[in-house]
Amino acid sequence: MFCPKCGSLLYPKGKEMVCKRCGFRKEKEGNKIIVSKREEKEFAVIEEDVSLLPKTSVICPKCGNNEAYWILRQTRAADEPETRIYTCTKCGHRWREY
Ligand SMILES: [Zn+2]
Ligand SMILES: [Zn+2]
């Protein structure tokens, strides 16, 4: 990422990107990081109680097995649809369906 003012490289400093040459600073675009952290958390929850989850017949995109545990996740924004997360009973692969 480059400074829009003087064109030199921006350096990360805390939550900002800072230009060492002219002092320009910009907040990091952190949206993607937040999303991936949220997904990790969702998956971590599943890890613990996977044996209690209901099973359904769905084809695993990885190994072709036709049975998977599933769990419904309400996403944080009310206008986002619910997400169904599957865990393959055979290979443990996880994927989501919107
Ligand atoms: Zn600059
Ligand atoms: Zn599988």
Compute the average pLDDT of residues 80-96: 88
Give pLDDT tens digits for 23-64.
988 877 654 444 455 555 555 555 556 667 899 999 999 999
Ordered domains of the chain (ranges, CATH): 20-97 (2.20.25.10)
* Three-state secondary structure of the chain: CECCCCCCEEEEECCEEEECCCCCEEECCCHHHHHHHHHHHHHHHHHHHHHHCCEECCCCCCCCCCCEEEEEECCCCCCCCCEEEEEECCCCCEEEEC
Tell me the ligand closest to 3's alpha carbon: 1
Q: What is the pTM of this model?
A: 0.47
**Ligand whose nearest atom lies closest to the CA of 65:** 2
- CA of 84 relative to ligand 2 center, distance in Å: 16
